Structure 1
Amino acid sequence: MKVLIVDDSRLARAELRRLLEAHPDVEVAGEARNAEEARAQLAAQPVDLLLLDIHMPGETGFELLASLEAAPPVVFTTAYDAHALRAFEVNALDYLLKPVQEARLGAALDKVRAQQPADAPSAAVEAAPVPAPATPLTAQDQVFVKDGERCWFVRLGEVRLFEINGSYTQIYFEQHRPLIPRTLSQLEARLDPKLFFRANRQQIINLNFVEGVEPWFSHSLRLTLRGGEVVEVSRQQSVRFRELLSL
């Protein structure tokens, strides 16, 4: 497991390094003193976890996340508990108060391990090259979503539907429906075609959330998603859907 430590305090970074030495499967991939340095390191290599301070000179930890198109799992480390609610609103795995306790850090690392696919090597074992911007994002990738004053840190595999809503795209995950300033074409270029399917001009669906399929007008199909949404697949895309899912 590769970890990037982001904290403006040298002593805090050194203490986290010391605590991580107790975990043989963890490798400190680097340290950053601020959001700018963190972005540069994330662009240079993939990591499995961000240990991220909130209050730093310049941008905060939240602002760093908002600037990333995709980010690894995050555990916040901070001397203040005032931002705990906001941290979990962006789906942080954990929120550790300084001085960080060894047991609490171990529990946070266990959460990261539990999320890693059993058959997928971690970045510490297989340091793959950084994907180019056009490389499709996987189901395990997490993206930061902001809609007004609310924000989320959501894994793409949990998104069941992308739908045009005016000049925005609406994202469906859990009970949330935030809007983002992206077109479906922009999203389709980044999404894994093995997981996400363009059903029509208005909607992209997550194939893992298809609960029911029924024939519809003019040889088209109508799909029901877990969550209750009903999607009518265009006639042309219905042909592709049948080919995609046929033996």
Structure 2
Amino acid sequence: MLIKAIIIDDERPARAELKKLLQAYPEIEILDEAQNSKEAIEKIHEHNPDLIFLDIQMPGQNGFELLSELVSAPKVIFTTAFDEYALKAFEVNALDYLLKPVDSKRLAEAIQKLSAQFQSQVQQKENKTVLTENEQFFVKDGDKCWFVKLSDVRLFESAGNYAKVYFDNYKPLILKSLNALEERLDEHHFFRVNRKHIVNLKWISKIEPYFNGGLLLELKNGEKIEVSRRQSAKFKEMMSL
């Protein structure tokens, strides 16, 4: 199992030292390097890595601000000279937090944890089937209950660990995160347009250019949803626009 990674650090010697340590792990393929957040975001979207080794203190945006820019973040191992960010690092679900200079034993522990998580994800994906648009699912909201066909759902909206399901004139909550839904939904019918929304492609009636290189979608019922600038490139490619 090959794990594709990018090293993000403003210090060239730190990047070189980490690359040297990672030579002991042939399962980790270093795709690229970046020295600041702007460059890192571009390279993450270009390569779509499984993992980033991320410094926190960098010129411009710091590591946490970088992560907030991403629609869907890869796994993160922080590498930093400062220990005061450890609690915040785990609040954003970082896989590990390594202090510089990186100790080879601590790196080994992080890679072991990483490998275990990837193996678990592979097994979970093998056990999960993609939901087709013709399948139904059960929704309960207070005293109301529905069997909802996926083709009738025009939109999913993030609400923390829940998601709002938009169908007919209803928008009840289900106990599924948007990330979990994205894994199960057929990408030929549903598209993650931004951090908060997944849209049913068959419900789109109009596509217009929007601010900062983004797009604005109008659904058949008149609702308008913005496609983020970064997702717009994917959307255009998929729709051959």
TM-score w.r.t. the length of structure 2 is 0.54
Q: Which has the higher contact order (CA 8 A, sep 6+)?
A: 1
Q: Does 2:42 align with 1:40? A: yes
Instruction: State the Cα distance separating 1:111 from its structure 2 match.
Output: 1.4
Matching residue within 14, 25, 29 for 1:27: 29
User: Secondary structure in 1 aligned to 2:161?
Assistant: strand
Whether 1:202 aligns to 2:172 is yes
Distance 2:37 2:45 in 1: 12
Opposite residue 171 of structure 2, the aligned amino acid is R
For residues 175-186 of structure 1, what are the structure 2 equivalents within 5 Å? 184=164
Q: 5+ residue gaps in structure 2?
A: 124-129, 131-138, 142-156, 181-241
* Structure-2 residue corresponding to 1:71: 73
CA–CA distance in structure 1, aligned partners of residues 109 and 176 of structure 2: 31
RMSD: 3.2
SS across alignment from 1:111:
helix
Q: Any idea what the Cα deviations from partners look like across 1:157-184, whole Å, max 9, x if unmatched?
A: xxxx9x9xxxx953237xxxxxxxxx94
What CA distance in whole angstroms lies between the structure 2 residues aligned with 1:203 and 1:184?
4
Q: Name the amino acid aligned to 1:22.
A: A
Find the counterpart in structure 2 of residue 56 from structure 1: 58
Post-superposition CA distance 1:24-79 (Å, at most 9, x none): 11111110000111110111112111100000000000000011111111010000
The one-character-per-residue Cα deviations of 1:66-93 (angstroms, maximum 9, x if unpaired) are 1111111101000010111111111111
Q: TM-score, normalised by structure 1?
A: 0.52
* Structure 2 counterpart of 1:170, from 159, 167, 170: 159
Deviation, structure 1 residue 204 = 3.2
One-letter identity of the residue aligned with 1:54: I
CA–CA distance in structure 2, aligned partners of residues 96 and 118 of structure 1: 23
After superposition, the Cα gap between the structure-2 partners of 1:117 and 1:86, relative to the gap in structure 1 and judged at 3 Å, is same
Letter in structure 1 aligned against 2:53: L
- Contact 2:9–2:15 (CA under 8 A) maintained in structure 1: yes
SS at match of 2:60: coil
What residue is the counterpart of 1:89 in the other structure?
A: 91
Whether the aligned pair in 1 keeps the contact of 2:161 and 2:176 (CA below 8 Å) is no
CA distance in 1, matches of 2:20, 2:71: 31
Q: Distance in 2 between matches of 1:19 and 1:76?
A: 15
The question of whether the paired residues in 2 share the 8 Å contact of 1:49 and 1:112 is answered with no
Question: Match of 2:85, as an amino acid?
Answer: H
Q: Deviations over 1:87-142 (max 9, x none)?
A: 11111111100000111111111111111146849xxxxxxxxxxxxxxxx9xxxx
Q: Aligned residues, how many? A: 145
Instruction: Report % sequence identity.
Output: 46
Q: Which residue of 2 aligns with 1:105?
A: 107
Conserved in 1, the CA contact under 8 Å of 2:9 and 2:35?
yes
The CA distance in 1 between the partners of 2:176 and 2:64, in whole Å, is: 28
Residue type of the alignment partner of 1:172: N
- Partner amino acid, structure 2, of 1:9: E
2:40 maps to a residue whose letter is: A
| Structure 1 unpaired stretches of 5+ | 122-137, 139-160, 174-182, 189-196, 210-247
Kindly provide the amino acid, as one letter, of the partner of residue 77 in structure 1.
T
Amino acid at match of 2:172: Q
